[in-house]
Amino acid sequence: MPIPVTIADDSMMSRKAVRRALPADWDIEITEATNGKQALAAVEAGKAEVLFLDLTMPELDGFGVLRYLHEHHAKTIVIVISADIQPEAKKLVDSLGAFRFLHKPLNPEQLSQVLFDVGLI
């Protein structure tokens, strides 16, 4: 059965960049979200076993999404992909239980390594 994966980013180019970086032979079903609320809706609907999450988004930002998931002990594996790469952002993301913090522009090899580390591929 394909793994449900959600890509949450308000930029279409960045959602595309994530799609492109995913291993071609990985059996997944992709949902796209353009803000934090949509990302949480995807989690609630069981469409996000893995969530690729941007931090700066309208409505609800990535920190808000992480906080909600953290408080609700969600089992979603969150991989943050962010343009804001300041130490402060990384610290907060780590404390909210994200699995990894990747920098934009996304490096496809780095992403594959992360998926391998978590045992997804």
Does 11 contact another protein by CB under 8 A? yes
Q: What is the footprint of another protein within residues 41-70 (CB under 8 A)?
A: 56
Q: Which two structure tokens, joined as six digits, stand for 117? A: 């580390």
Does 108 contact another protein by CB under 8 A? no
Contact with another protein (CB under 8 A): which of 82, 96, 98, 100? 82
Size of the chain in residues: 121
By C-beta, is 43 or 53 nearer to another protein?
53
Question: If you search the block for the tokens 């804001």, which residue do you land on?
Answer: 84
Strand, coil or helix: what is 44? helix
By C-beta, is 85 or 118 nearer to another protein?
85
Stretch that binds another protein, among 8-16, 37-45, 60-68, 113-121 (CB under 8 A): 8-16
Strand, coil or helix: what is 111? helix
Q: What is the rounded CA–CA span in Å between residue 77 and residue 52? A: 9
